[in-house]
């Protein structure tokens, strides 16, 4: 019942648009997690130990596939 009481208290609180957006942003960050948000914004190749980046990938062909210019 404690969660229901806290939710009722929160819903009765008056807030303007700015306060609501700050609160909603905090809820989203808590639900997704800060690392998940960073991973989503930057792409999974930079966060979480993923070592598959452009520098480590083996270039099999296509533009820049030859040793010319390396």
Domain count, the chain: 1
Is 1 inside any structural domain? no
Is 6 inside any structural domain? no
* Cα separation values, 44 from 16, 55, 69, Å: 36, 15, 29
Among 34, 35, 11, residue whose Cα is nearest residue 23: 11
Range of the domain at 23: 16-50
Is 69 inside any structural domain? no
pLDDT in tens, 2-49: 888 988 888 888 999 999 999 889 888 888 888 887 888 888 665 455
Is 42 inside any structural domain? yes
Cα angle value 70/53/45 (rounded, 5°): 160
User: Is 54 strand, coil or helix?
Assistant: coil
- Please state, in angstroms and rounded to a whole number, the distance separating the CA atoms of residues 2 and 65: 62
> Global pTM?
0.42
């Amino acid at each position: 019942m404690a969660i229901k009481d806290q939710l009722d208290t929160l819903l009765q609180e008056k807030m303007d648009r700015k306060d609501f957006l700050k609160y909603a942003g905090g809820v989203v960050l808590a639900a997704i997690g800060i690392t998940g948000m960073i991973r989503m914004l930057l792409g999974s190749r930079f966060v979480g130990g993923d070592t598959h980046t452009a520098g480590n990938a083996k270039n099999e062909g296509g533009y820049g596939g030859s040793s010319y210019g390396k």
